[in-house]
Amino acid sequence: MVNRMQFYIDGAWVDPAVKKSTAVVNPATEEAMYEVALGSKADVDKAVAAAKRAFATFSQTSREERVALLTKVIEIYKGRLKEIGAAVSDEMGAPLPMAEKLQAGAGLGHLMTTLDVLKNYHFEEPVGTAMVLREPIGVVGMITPWNWPLNQIACKVAPALAAGCTMILKPSEFTPTSALIFAEILHEAGVPKGVFNLVNGLGPEVGAAMSEHPDIDMISFTGSTRAGIDVAKRAAPTVKRVSQELGGKSPNVILEGADLTKAVTGGVMHMFNNSGQSCNAPSRMIVPLSKMKEVAAIAKAVADKTKAGDPRGEGTTIGPVVNRGQWDKIQALIKKGIDEGATLVAGGPGLPEGVNKGFYVRPTIFADVTPEMTIAREEIFGPVLTILGAKNEADAVQIANDTPYGLAGYVSGATVEDAKRVGRQIRAGNVNLQGVPNDRTAPFGGYKQSGNGREWGKYGLEDFLEVKAVAGFNAA
């Protein structure tokens, strides 16, 4: 039985300093499933003190010790994959097969990639007469979201453990169970007391206390740009490192000569994956103006086959969005798209046909969208695709970069060379060419208001390391 009413601090399950809880609601049924404890500054202080004590010894462990620890974590995680998938499905609405394979699977993927990086990483590098040492940054505060809960937890915790850091995790209050299972996995694997701590709670209370804490050396935050700005402001007085992966409004540029059916179909399916609740979702499809009607017809055919329904139901393509607040926001933006004159190709306001409860959104496509429309500028974070027309390649690049965000970009062309040429011009941290998915060994992160710092692979490990130059180390 997962323990939702206690926190994991200093190697033990402990009661909150103040008894307070919130209901966790199943977005498919709108019914409360159980309560989860909410923490306070006092709980954060306790967890930070434990992490600070543990850092003195854990930071001195050898590569071999940390390799053995991550190997054990991976072994235990594999045995709980289905349980993690079921928890994610129930709490944020992902279809069960997708939650098991992609949501829970992403966490395992990051653990395994980090283990490979750790085995071969050079923590010491001679530079002239100096030796450059890469050392753990210290105590890390981690704040993670609900949309890909295990992906975000694992791609922070795994490299922090590999680096020799200690940490406090505040997962989303909407998806607490998978994080609590993860804490159980680390405990069973023998992670030393105080190295990993978990405090559930709300951003304005627990998140704020972590961001401001003088004994936390780094904050690793994933979430909205609005919340990220608040974290950075609170962290500034203590000059701690702040690494952030924030919002996105990613362009999907389809060039003249590209295989339209393949590129549009793939783009729409990617957009609707996870009910559109991915920060790197290809939410702005930019196509040759002359092909707008043809593209809209292909996109509509995909939307018509996309079934929003029970996450555990047969044939469900997408589940609900996470909560009532998100549903209301998405509905308002769909209405805004209609009001501002975009052409509604598929979907629209309200619940999908045959659905009378749950936070389900109709798979929605707008064509003839112009760059100044609200739906072309704001992150919707739901299954809503906007299609914009470009006069030529230069115009497509200009539209692609006309956004305060810069997390991802997608390009399809007649040839890989065409896609490369445009991909180089897109101002984003991740660009995918010709439908090729991300590589976990390559860096993930954003330009502009999509954040700073990088996650995944060796780049994720380096986010948790300080660089020390020791002059005279190599002097003759």
Indicate which residues carry an active-site annotation: 245, 279
Residue 155 identity (one-letter amino acid): C
Compute the radius of gyration of the chain from its Cα atoms: 23
In angstroms, the CA 14 to CA 358 distance is 34
Q: From residue 13, how far is each of 8, 180, 303, 379 by CA, in Å?
A: 5, 10, 46, 38
Number of C-beta neighbours around residue 17 at 10 A: 15
Name the one residue in this structure whose structure tokens are 């990051």. Answer: 110
**H or E segment and range at residue 2:** none
Q: Do the Cβ atoms of 224 and 212 come closer than 8 Å?
A: no
Structure tokens belonging to residue 56: 């003195």
* C-alpha dihedral, 272 to 275 to 278 to 280, nearest 10°: 10
Among 461, 474, 473, 472, which residue's Cα sits nearest to residue 123? 461
465/351 Cα distance (integer angstroms): 47
Is the CB of residue 363 less than 8 Å from the CB of residue 308?
A: yes
Q: Phi and psi (nearest 5°) for 53? A: -65, -45
DSSP per-residue letters across 271-322: HHGGGG--TT---EEEEEGGGHHHHHHHHHHHHHH--B--TTSTT--B---S
Residue matched to tokens 């739901």: 382
In Å, how far are 96, 98, 222, 358 from 319, measured between CA atoms?
9, 10, 22, 9
Token pair in block for residue 424: 């180089």
